[in-house]
């Protein structure tokens, strides 16, 4: 499809409709986060809050500072899980791309990474909980970090594997002839060429970890709760706390939406890497 193609009025109309459908829910979230508690239940209330208020933000971010802890938990877990997944995944992908193992072992190992994408995580949740209980790691950051890094590892490996395989071997060959071992070739030749792919892998891992609910809620139900686990707690048997839920929803959604906007190109690259080539 040529880049110079003219975008006609009908196409813009379709795009406008799509934007409304995709973004209107975000508007509702933002408006509800500044809607006074009393306005939620009044039937005649319009879309715009009559008297906007920051009370919900004060409630979830001020006071006892509870939300700050959950926010901090999420930041720590996301940063550490991303670092761990990329630090383990990049060398592993390089080994799979360059190492000729007998019995098609490279393929078998590569597929065993991929298989993680295809089974329901609820199947590992309970034994993972028991394992963390036995290791004394329940309700710690480390338990959630391990869970998220292992979920993201296959993603990192497959994005980077595709990328490493496309780097011409000649580049490495000359380094090899000059006496560079595998470590130096990886560290000084391949990695500097792979920054876009590393960026894409890191971004997808960070988003996955920031958003993950199931395993985080399984192993960290107290002090170490992350934001998605906390937000689910707003729906109680007593009823839904709409205001605070909206404020915290905004807190969890805003960073990742900004992130997506800034890193759009890398994000699209990561998302399509697996699917298009597969």
Partner 1 sequence: MVTVAVADEAAERRRRRGVRPLPDGLVLGAFLVPALVLLGVTQFWPLAASFGISLHDWTLARSPVMGEFVGAANYARVLSDGQFTGALGFTLALALGSTALSLAAGLALALLTVGEDGRLRLVRALLLFPMVIAPVAVGTIWRMILSARVGTLNGMLGALGLPQPNWLGDPMLARISLAVIDAWQWTPFVMVVMAAALTALPADVLRAARMDGAGRALVFRRITLPLILPTLMLVGMFRLVDALMTLDIVVTTTGGGPGFATQTLSWWIYQQGLRYFNLSVAAAASWLLLALCFGVAALMLLARRRAARWLP
Site residues for partner 1, window 131-150 (CB under 8 A)? 131, 146-147, 149-150
Specify the residue, 5 or 64, whose C-beta has the smaller distance to partner 1: 5
**Least distance from partner 1 to the Cβ atom of residue 198, Å:** 15
* Closer by beta carbon to partner 1, 69 or else 256: 256
Q: Does residue number 107 form part of the binding site for partner 1 (CB under 8 A)?
A: no
What minimum distance in Å lies between the beta carbon of 34 and partner 1? 13
Per-residue tokens: 10: 């009908």
- Name which of residues 43 to 82 contact partner 1 (CB under 8 A): 43, 45-47
Compare residues 11 and 104 and give the one whose CB is closer to partner 1. Answer: 11
Reduced to 3 states, what is the DSSP secondary structure of residue 237?
A: coil
Residue closer to partner 1 (CB basis): 54 or 126: 126
- Report the C-alpha gap between 278 and 132 in whole angstroms: 34
Considering the complex, state which of residue 82 and residue 89 has its C-beta at the smaller distance from partner 1. Answer: 89
Q: Does 36 bind partner 1 (CB under 8 A)?
A: no
Dihedral sign computed on CA atoms, order 133, 135, 136, 141: negative
Q: Are strands 235-236 and 239-240 parallel, antiparallel or unpaired?
A: antiparallel
Q: Give one DSSP letter per residue of 44-78, joined into a string.
A: T--SS-SS---HHHHHHHSTT-HHHHHHHHHHHHH
Fill in the DSSP letter of residue 2: -
Contacting partner 1 within 156-215 (CB under 8 A): 157, 171-172, 174-175, 178-186, 188-189, 192, 207, 210-214
Tokens at 154, concatenated: 């296959």
């Amino acid at each position: 499809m040529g880049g110079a193609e003219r975008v006609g009025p009908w196409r813009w109309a379709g795009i406008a409709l799509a934007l409304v459908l995709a973004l209107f829910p975000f508007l509702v979230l933002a408006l509800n986060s500044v809607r006074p508690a009393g306005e939620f239940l009044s039937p005649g209330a319009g879309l715009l809050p009559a008297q906007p208020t920051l009370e919900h933000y004060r409630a979830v971010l001020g006071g006892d500072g509870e939300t700050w802890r959950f926010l901090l938990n999420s930041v720590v877990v996301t940063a550490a899980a991303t670092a761990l997944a990329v630090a383990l995944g990049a060398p592993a992908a390089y080994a799979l791309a360059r190492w000729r193992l007998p019995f098609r072992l490279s393929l078998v190992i590569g597929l065993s990474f991929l298989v993680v994408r295809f089974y329901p995580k609820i199947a590992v949740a309970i034994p993972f909980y028991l394992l963390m209980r036995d290791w004394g790691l329940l309700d710690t950051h480390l338990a959630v970090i391990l869970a998220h890094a292992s979920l993201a590892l296959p993603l990192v490996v497959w994005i980077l594997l595709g990328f490493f395989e496309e780097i011409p071997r000649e580049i490495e060959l000359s380094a090899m002839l000059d006496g560079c071992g595998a470590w130096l070739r990886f560290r000084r030749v391949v990695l500097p060429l792979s920054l876009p792919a590393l960026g894409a892998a890191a971004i997808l891992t960070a988003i996955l970890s920031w958003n993950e609910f199931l395993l985080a809620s399984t192993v960290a139900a107290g002090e170490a709760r992350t934001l998605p686990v906390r937000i689910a707690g707003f729906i109680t048997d007593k009823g839904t706390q709409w205001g605070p839920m909206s404020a915290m929803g905004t807190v969890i959604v805003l960073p990742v939406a900004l992130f997506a906007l800034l890193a759009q190109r890398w994000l699209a690259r990561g998302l399509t890497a697996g699917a298009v080539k597969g």
